[in-house]
Amino acid sequence: MVPHLATALTGPINELEQRMLDAMPAIERWFRLEWMEHTPPFYTCTDIRNAGFKLAAMETSLFPTGWNHLSQDTLPLAVQAAMAAIEKICPEARNLLIILENQWQGSAYLANIAQLQRIFNMAGLHVRIGSINPDIKNTTTATLDQGASITLEPVIRSQRRLGLHNFDPCTILLSNNLSAGIPGILEELHEQYLLPPLHAGWSMRRKTRHLQSNEDLARRLGKMLGMDPWLIHPLFAHVVTKTKANANTDIRSEYHMQALCDAVDTLLTKVRRKYKEYGIHEKPFVLIKTEREGTGMHSFAVRDVKALEHSVLAGQLLAHTLFVQEGVPTQERVGQAVAEPVVYMLDRYVVGGFYRLHSAREADHYLPNTPDTRTAPLAFAHGTHLPRFSGASTPNRFYMYGVIARLAMLAASYELEASDPEAETYR
């Protein structure tokens, strides 16, 4: 089930979209059966690009922020999904502790936390907000827009549990993506549920592992739908340095740059071949990305390998573990702005989303949610102009985004199973 949200799509339904709409019952059944075998991550958000000819999940966060950007009218879906998630994980729960990022900028992050607090509060839990930043020693109350406020408290760690003053939670929800590593204070919590688990953090996650998992699933879904999996996932390539790194930074950089150029070239060639196969007359591009979030480096787009060698940006990136991902052009627009859908999920339910808006000039870069990100929430597609009983036959143009986002969520589920340090214990 994917809620019927109003998208920016106004053109005719193309072949790819029609195929997904037609296969809806089969796709839903496929997901239901997958979720019988695999546990969904607690919550995710997925960045999607719709090129018209293809639709792909570009990034999937296991520590989604930006909940405040969702349309207010989709909130009940999030609450209902939160209730289902809690019921499954810890039905006896009374208290939920949300752990903040250690650093953040602007009030948007806190507005996002306030929205999460609201969702889990409406799902029937006492929810309080804790910080594991050792510099935070006192309880503070921050004022948000429109007069609301949020109270942040320093955590208290005991031998086996983490809590706040007079607050012993059964479940701890991490909004902290652990990009700086796993803090000791979160380890060895044997009697509390930590969501997502520590190995979902960016100190352990690798984006190519996720992409590989997504590619495998796209292949299976594509087979079921009788279509080329390339239409629903982005290609990617590892950057493999063929010589050993040594102390000589310049030589290492040189080898790294060569490896990067090779990967870019290989991937551009692959994409070019696909464009030719489908008669697409756009110029292919790829994105150079770091394997982990939290490096402070943004990905950037390359259309021509020749321009890469002397690029200052590429030079800076070389200090990190890189990979190359197929760029998927964005066809959607809200007003003059390029609009990129971001889809939110809680447990295995699609609960809402928004468009991230920016100018065409910025469109080549992967843009994280920053305080000044402009967004347009995706609201329910209904209104007086829709006849009351025609809804079933009005195509849900958000449906395909829900499919791609859940494919990415399922990929994250496989990814987390494979990287789970306690997997042996489970078997």
Contacting residue, 157, 238, 365, 382, with a copy of itself by CB under 8 A: 382
Q: How far is the CB of 399 from a copy of itself (least distance, A)?
A: 10
Out of 396, 400, 408, 409, name the contact with a copy of itself by CB under 8 A.
396
* Separation CA 181–CA 370 (nearest Å): 22
Burial 23-57 (b: 16+ CB within 10 A, else e): bbeebbebbeebbeebebbbbbbbbbbbbbbbbbb
- Considering the rule CB under 8 A, would residue 33 count as an interface residue with a copy of itself? yes
- Shortest distance in whole angstroms from residue 314 CB to a copy of itself: 42
Cβ proximity to a copy of itself: between 96 and 200 the closer is 96
Select from 390, 422, 426, 427 the one that contacts a copy of itself (CB under 8 A): 390
Residue closer to a copy of itself (CB basis): 33 or 182: 33
Minimum separation from the CB atom of position 163 to a copy of itself (A): 16
Binder among 389, 424, 426, 427 for a copy of itself (CB under 8 A): 389
CB of 248 to a copy of itself, least distance (A): 54
Between 261 and 300, how does the x/- string for binding to a copy of itself read (CB under 8 A)? ----------------------------------------
**Burial of residue 144 (number of CB atoms within 10 Å: 0-12, 13-18, 19+):** middle
Tell which positions 144-163 bind a copy of itself, by CB under 8 A: 144-148
Closest approach, Cβ 38 to a copy of itself, in A, equals 13
Q: Site map for a copy of itself, 90-129, x if CB under 8 A?
A: -xxxx----------------x--xx-xx--xxxxxx---
Give, as ranges, the residues between 158 and 217 that touch a copy of itself (CB under 8 A).
Answer: none
User: Per-residue string for binding with a copy of itself, 64-83, x by CB under 8 A?
Assistant: ----x---xxxxxx-xxxxx
Cα 141 versus chain centre, distance: 29
Say which residues have a Cβ less than 8 Å from residue 208's Cβ, sequence separation at least 6: 236, 238, 291, 323
Task: Decide whether 153 or 326 has the Cβ nearer to a copy of itself.
Answer: 153
Q: How far is the CB of 298 from a copy of itself (least distance, A)?
A: 29
CB of 74 to a copy of itself, least distance (A): 8
The residues of the shown chain that bind a copy of itself, judged by CB under 8 A, are 1, 3-4, 24-29, 32-33, 35-36, 68, 72-77, 79-84, 86-87, 91-94, 111, 114-115, 117-118, 121-126, 144-148, 349, 380, 382, 387-392, 396
